[in-house]
């Protein structure tokens, strides 16, 4: 039997068929989650679209693709399905699947929701719909996954962006210049925060894609595919080991960034801050990420350098507890409820979708302004 050739795809320019919704505050309290579509000429749409684009770019870099390839190969090994036809091509075949997944995601990004995720430190979460068609060369993101972002943290991000825009339009004063500089830096850090949260959720989407919702592998991430104790584990020796689950997003974070990402509260700043980014290594020591590394990811032509540059000294778990360090942002997933399926129905039939060029998206991190988007559906 001839070896199957890896599919060839090219990346689209910008984000396409992007639909963003948020919970409707006027909806009845009937136990369901009601969404309303966001117009493209809003700060919420602008800021999230920009951050999503950066998150996708992170995974499109050679190190990002290599991390997804390693994830896919590790999953195939853990599942013991190396002899299935779709995996016999080895690394070359997996590289083709990574390219297909990323290009399909850019052409038809999963539907996006903004809602209360239960805690301000949970930045994003994803829901897989288990609708794999068995064909790894025909991925349809919107039919397979949706991504939700934390409403409170998105609100903090757009507050910073709006402040930069408004201060830039007002009469210039020394106080205004200082505040605009502070808000612009905050805006950039939020862009990085939501970009990395997007990259994390794309790893979960890739898991669903490569397993084809369990057709080729398993529905849940194997326990060995994680970093530290992220994921759901049995609590004692009497628990069923099959209840243990891994965390593919954290596994990739460790490979790509050099540890898992946590944003800790800066006690000298206000409650709308993004927090101070730290990396947690294999010994649970937290290392502060150098601010210039964050800015490289969002400013100008953008430089994606891996692993992230850190500065010491590290902070142990005990020291963090003693200092009362509190997380303001984590890429860990939150539990989903059955009513999220209602979101899926709304996403598939009622939401307007937009295309945004890369040129428009690239302006936002440096000079936040409402982007121009073209409605396509």
- Cα separation, 56 vs 155, in Å, equals 22
Q: Looking at residues 199-203, what average pLDDT do you find? A: 97
Q: What is the pTM of this model?
A: 0.89
| pLDDT number for residue 46 | 98
Please, what is the angle between helix 174-211 and helix 151-169, to 10°?
A: 140
| pLDDT number for residue 214 | 74
DSSP string, 190-252: HHHHHHHHHHHHHHHHHHHHHHTTTTSS-SS--TTSSSTT-S---SSTTS-GGG----HHHHH
Q: Looking at residues 339-345, what average pLDDT do you find? A: 38
Q: How confident is the model at residue 33 (pLDDT cuts 50, 70, 90)?
A: confident
What are the pLDDT digits (tens) for 265-323? 999 999 999 999 999 999 999 999 999 999 999 998 899 999 999 998 999 999 999 99
Q: Looking at residues 158-168, what average pLDDT do you find? A: 95
| pLDDT number for residue 232 | 57
Could you tell me the maximum CA-CA distance found in the chain, to the nearest angstrom? 73
Q: How confident is the model at residue 332 (pLDDT cuts 50, 70, 90)?
A: low
Kindly tell me the burial class for residue 87, based on how many C-beta atoms sit within 10 Å of its own C-beta (0-12, 13-18, 19 or more): buried
Q: Looking at residues 190-200, what average pLDDT do you find? A: 98
Q: Is the pLDDT of residue 347 over 50?
A: no
More confident residue, 114 or 211: 114
- Cα separation, 190 vs 47, in Å, equals 9
Indicate the range of 49-58, 177-186, 333-342, 350-359 predicted with least confidence: 333-342
- Cα separation, 206 vs 243, in Å, equals 22
Using the CB atoms, write b or e for 18-48: b if 16+ within 10 Å. bbbbbbeeeeeeeeebbbebbebeebbbbbb
Q: Is the pLDDT of residue 8 over 70?
A: no
What are the pLDDT digits (tens) for 80-129? 988 888 998 888 899 999 999 999 999 999 999 999 998 878 999 998 88
What are the pLDDT digits (tens) for 11-24? 468 999 999 999 98
Peptide bond into 191 cis (omega under 30): no
Beta pairing partners, 18 = 354
Q: Which H or E run includes 280?
A: strand 276-280
| pLDDT number for residue 12 | 61
Q: How confident is the model at residue 134 (pLDDT cuts 50, 70, 90)?
A: confident
Q: Is the pLDDT of residue 7 over 50?
A: no
Indicate the range of 21-25, 32-36, 255-259, 320-324 predicted with least confidence: 32-36
Q: Is the pLDDT of residue 69 over 90?
A: yes
Percent of all residues in the chain with a pLDDT value above 90, rounded to a whole number: 67
Indicate the range of 80-94, 125-139, 165-179, 340-354 predicted with least confidence: 340-354
| pLDDT number for residue 243 | 57
- Cα separation, 39 vs 354, in Å, equals 9
């Amino acid at each position: 039997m001839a070896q199957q050739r890896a599919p060839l795809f090219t990346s689209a320019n910008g984000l396409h068929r992007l639909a963003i919704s948020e919970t409707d505050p006027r909806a009845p309290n009937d136990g369901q989650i009601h969404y309303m579509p966001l117009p493209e000429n809003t700060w919420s749409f602008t800021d999230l679209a920009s951050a999503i684009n950066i998150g996708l770019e992170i995974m499109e870099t050679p190190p990002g693709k290599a991390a997804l390839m390693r994830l896919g190969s590790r999953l195939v090994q853990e599942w013991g399905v190396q002899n299935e036809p779709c995996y016999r091509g080895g690394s070359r075949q997996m590289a083709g699947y990574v390219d297909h997944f990323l290009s399909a995601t850019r052409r038809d990004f999963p539907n996006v929701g903004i809602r209360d995720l239960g805690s301000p430190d949970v930045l994003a979460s994803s829901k897989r719909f288990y609708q794999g068609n068995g064909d790894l060369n025909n991925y349809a993101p919107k039919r397979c996954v949706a991504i939700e972002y934390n409403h409170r943290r998105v609100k903090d991000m757009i507050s910073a962006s709006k402040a930069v825009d408004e201060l830039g339009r007002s009469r210039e004063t020394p106080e205004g210049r200082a505040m605009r500089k502070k808000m612009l830096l905050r805006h950039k850090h939020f862009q990085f925060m939501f970009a990395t949260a997007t990259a994390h959720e794309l790893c979960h989407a890739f898991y669903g894609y490569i397993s084809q919702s369990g057709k080729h592998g398993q529905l849940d991430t194997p326990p060995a595919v994680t970093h530290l104790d992220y994921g759901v584990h049995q609590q004692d020796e009497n628990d069923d080991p099959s209840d243990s689950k891994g965390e593919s997003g954290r596994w990739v974070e460790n490979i790509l960034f050099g540890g898992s990402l946590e944003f800790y509260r800066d006690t000298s700043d206000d409650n709308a801050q993004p927090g101070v980014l730290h990396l947690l290594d294999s010994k649970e020591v937290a290392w502060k990420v150098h601010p210039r590394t964050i800015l490289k990811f969002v400013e100008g032509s953008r430089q994606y350098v891996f692993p992230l540059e850190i500065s010491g000294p590290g902070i142990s778990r005990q020291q963090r507890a003693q200092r009362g360090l509190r997380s303001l942002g984590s890429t860990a997933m939150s539990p989903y409820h059955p009513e999220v399926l209602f979101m899926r129905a709304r996403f598939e039939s009622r939401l307007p979708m937009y295309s945004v060029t890369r040129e428009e998206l690239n302006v936002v991190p440096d000079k936040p302004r409402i982007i121009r988007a073209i409605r396509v559906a």
